[in-house]
Structure formats: C-alpha cells, structure tokens
C-alpha cells in the first residue's frame, strides 16, 4: 500500500482534494443514502447478497424503463434511428441482469432457509418496475394491478402504462406509417390487453425482411426488438433455474406456484410475428 503521506505528495497537482465547499463523487451519487439501504432482517451473512442483488437489479430495471420509454417516443415520431442506440443499451443491460442470477446462485438452499421466513409475503412478483418492463414489451395483464392497490400513486403509474401502446404496438404503427398494409384491429386495439398475433402484421414484416434495402430502418428496428425479446426470455429462464436451484418447487413467498409459474411464463414469447416470419422466409 505504501506510505499515505508519500502517496498524497505524488498526486497530480490539479487533482481536487478539498470538498468542504464542492460536490464530491459520493455527494453526486447520493452514496450515503444508497449504501445505507441494505437493512438485513436477520443476522445471516448471505442476506446481504440477497438484498444487493435485488436492489441493483431494480436500478438496472429503472434504466431499462428510461430507455424503452424514450425509444417508444422516437418510434411514434417516426424517428427510428435514435431508438436503435437506446434499444442496444437495453439489450446490454439485460445481459447484466442475466449475469446477476449466476451470482445469486451461490446462495445455497440451506443458507436461504435461514432467513427466507423474514421476507414474509414480499416477492419479486411484486416488482412494479419488472411489471412496467413487461407492459412496455407488450405483455399486459390488468389483473396484476390489484397487487399495488395499497399504493395509489404507484397504481396510477402502472394503470397509465397498461393503457399505453407498447414498443411493439409503436413498431406496428410504424409499419403502417411506411405504407405497409395493417389490419385496423391491430392499429386501434385495446392497448391494455396483451398483444395477439395478426396475419397482416406478419405479412408486413415479411415484406420488410424481403426488401431490407428499401425498409432498412424498419428491418433494423425489428432486429433490435428480437434481440430484446430474446434477452428477456433468457432472463426469465435464468430466473426460473436459479429459483429451482435454491428452493426447488416450493411455493413462492408471494403465494405463486414458484418454479411452475415461472415455467408457464416462459411459454409467452415477445413480438410473435418477428419469430414466426423466420419460418416463412
């Protein structure tokens, strides 16, 4: 480590060292608040891991929502190119989230059982940010909102998102804006319902994929969406396998069937026509 006094003397002369009246790194990031928010309810060593994994995941989810909402607005304005960077960023964040499951998998079943009862009925199923991401990707279920009725402001945020077009709805509207024929029922549907596959949408995407030079921006958008849908499915899969590894087929703390519920969710892919068209190309 060396002598601190010698190290200080060797600092470059312009490095700021006096922060009595200046904003520091910790001030800017509110680290005093962030790093004091890991409040274990047990004395078990591994509960710290459990808390930090979930807290950092929520921070990454906040950034995903930020990027998805901005990308949706770009697509609505028929300004597709800026959305590509945003969607690429979402994909990279998803990779970070997927990797986090491998860290959590170091939690053994015996260790988790030492503090699991402290969670009560708290469960990842209640993550409102994960719900907002699913809504933004087109997976909507009005019945899930009942979980948030005890928080009226949050309920309103989720209800608003539920009734807005998803990023895939925005992409379908963009197809029509580029002169491709889309059924009216796909353009003016009930946004609060999960997207259902439509033959005219598949035909339009097939036209895009068969004429990539003419529809390059739409083609690029489609591939960005496929990447995000794929990463989200990988996240779901690693979630399921990590839960299975730690608690087997026990009921979830929030009352769900646990692994069985997560397996059913895996059968609900995103952006259906972007997958089905590949068979027809």
3-class DSSP string for 157-199: HHHHHHCCCCHHHHHHHHHHHCCCCCCHHHHCCCCCCCCCCCH
Comparing CA positions, the residue from 187, 213, 216, 217 lying closest to residue 200 is: 187
Q: Does the annotation list 64 as a binding residue? A: no
Q: Does the annotation list 52 as a binding residue? A: yes
263 close to 252: Cβ distance less than 8 angstroms: no
- Which residue has tokens 């509207």? 173
Q: Does the annotation list 51 as a binding residue? A: yes
Residue 93 to residues 54, 80, 89, 99, 238: CA-CA distances in angstroms?
A: 14, 20, 6, 10, 15
Q: Which H/E stretch holds residue 160? A: helix 152-162
Q: Report the alpha-carbon angle 270-271-276, nearest 5.
A: 110
Q: Hey, how many other C-beta atoms are within 10 angstroms of the C-beta on 269?
A: 15
Q: Does the annotation list 239 as a binding residue? A: yes
Q: Does the annotation list 75 as a binding residue? A: no
Helix, coil or strand: residue 187: helix
Query: Rounded CA gap, 86 and 62, in Å?
Result: 13
229 close to 274: Cβ distance less than 8 angstroms: yes
Q: Does the annotation list 116 as a binding residue? A: yes
Query: Rounded CA gap, 36 and 214, in Å?
Result: 54
Query: Rounded CA gap, 82 and 91, in Å?
Result: 15
SS3 content of the chain, % helix, strand, coil (to 5): 65, 0, 35
Q: Does the annotation list 50 as a binding residue? A: yes
Which residues does the annotation place in the binding site for heme?
Answer: 239
Q: Which residues are annotated as a binding site?
A: 50-54, 112, 116, 239, 253
Q: Which amino acids are annotated as binding site for substrate, given as ranges?
A: 50-54, 112, 116, 253
């Amino acid at each position: 480590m060396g002598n601190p006094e010698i190290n200080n003397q060797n600092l470059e002369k312009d490095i700021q060292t006096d922060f009595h009246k200046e904003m520091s790194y910790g001030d800017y990031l509110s680290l005093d608040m962030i790093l004091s928010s890991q409040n274990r309810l047990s004395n078990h060593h591994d509960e710290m891991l459990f808390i930090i994994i979930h807290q950092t995941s929520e921070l990454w989810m906040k950034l995903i929502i930020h990027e998805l909402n901005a990308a949706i607005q770009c697509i609505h304005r028929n300004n597709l190119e800026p959305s590509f960077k945003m969607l690429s960023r979402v994909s990279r964040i998803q990779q970070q989230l997927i990797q986090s499951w491998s860290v959590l998998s170091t939690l053994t079943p015996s260790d988790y059982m030492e503090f699991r009862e402290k969670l009560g009925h708290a469960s990842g199923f209640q993550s409102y940010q994960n719900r907002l991401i699913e809504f933004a990707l087109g997976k909507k279920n009005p019945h899930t909102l009942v979980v948030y009725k005890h928080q009226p402001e949050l309920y309103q945020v989720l209800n608003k998102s539920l009734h807005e077009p998803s990023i895939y709805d925005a992409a379908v509207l963009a197809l029509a804006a580029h002169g491709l024929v889309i059924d009216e029922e796909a353009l003016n549907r009930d946004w609060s319902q999960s997207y259902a596959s439509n033959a005219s949408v598949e035909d339009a995407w097939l036209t895009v994929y068969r004429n990539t030079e003419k529809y390059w921006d739409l083609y690029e958008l489609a591939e960005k969406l496929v990447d995000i849908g794929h990463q989200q499915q990988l996240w779901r899969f690693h979630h399921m396998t990590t839960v299975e590894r730690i608690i087997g087929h026990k009921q979830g703390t929030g009352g769900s069937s646990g692994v069985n519920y997560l397996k059913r969710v895996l059968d609900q892919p995103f952006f259906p026509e972007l997958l089905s068209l590949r068979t027809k190309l």
